[in-house]
Amino acid sequence: MTVAEKDFGAHRAPLQLPLMKNYWLVKSEPDAYSWNDLVKEKKTSWTGVRNFKARNNLRSMRVGDEVLFYHSVTDKAVVGIAEVVRAAYPDRTAKEGEWSAVDLAPVKQLRQPVFLDQIKAAPRLKSISLVRQSRLSVHALTSAEFREIVKLS
């Protein structure tokens, strides 16, 4: 007897709660891979992540999660919204170790870029991981943080 059968009786289907959508921010140097590259290709494998925290964030991504696309180094700005279209799988570019990749597809470009200085100046965003852990390439966001960044565009 399963827990659901025990608690709800065998005649009922097990209780299934809908999965909550998660929100993320990924960083890329625009000279290496830009938002325009993603739009042109319509989908990409997000490979090459070699930081354990960022890898674990990739592994937590689910299909349908929303992802802010951030141009690092030169622009330092969020420029678009993407969606996870394939959950984590082994990164084919890894020569050694257990690294992961996900597939992303573009959803829409932001009306205007949201620059890092704007994010740092926003009271509700000044302590997000993008500000605290600037070298991390894959960041988890709350839905409120995600919405606040989009609102700034």
What's the DSSP call for residue 20? P
Overall average pLDDT of the 29-58 stretch = 97
pLDDT in tens, 101-121: 999 999 999 999 999 999 999
pLDDT of residue 20: 86
Overall average pLDDT of the 118-143 stretch = 95
Q: Give the range among 14-28, 31-45, 83-97, 125-139 with minimum mean pLDDT.
A: 14-28
Overall average pLDDT of the 116-140 stretch = 95
pLDDT of residue 18: 60
Per-residue pLDDT for 7 more than 90? Answer: no
- The widest CA-to-CA distance across the chain, in whole angstroms, is 60
What's the DSSP call for residue 41? H
Overall average pLDDT of the 79-88 stretch = 98
Per-residue pLDDT for 6 more than 60? Answer: no
Enumerate domains of the chain plus CATH numbers: 20-152 (3.10.590.10)
Determine how many CB atoms are found less than 10 A away from the CB of residue 152: 18
pLDDT of residue 69: 98
Do the Cβ atoms of 53 and 136 come closer than 8 Å?
A: yes
Per-residue pLDDT for 15 more than 90? Answer: no
**Count of CA atoms in the C-beta half-sphere (13 A) of 27:** 22
Give percent above pLDDT 90 in the chain: 85
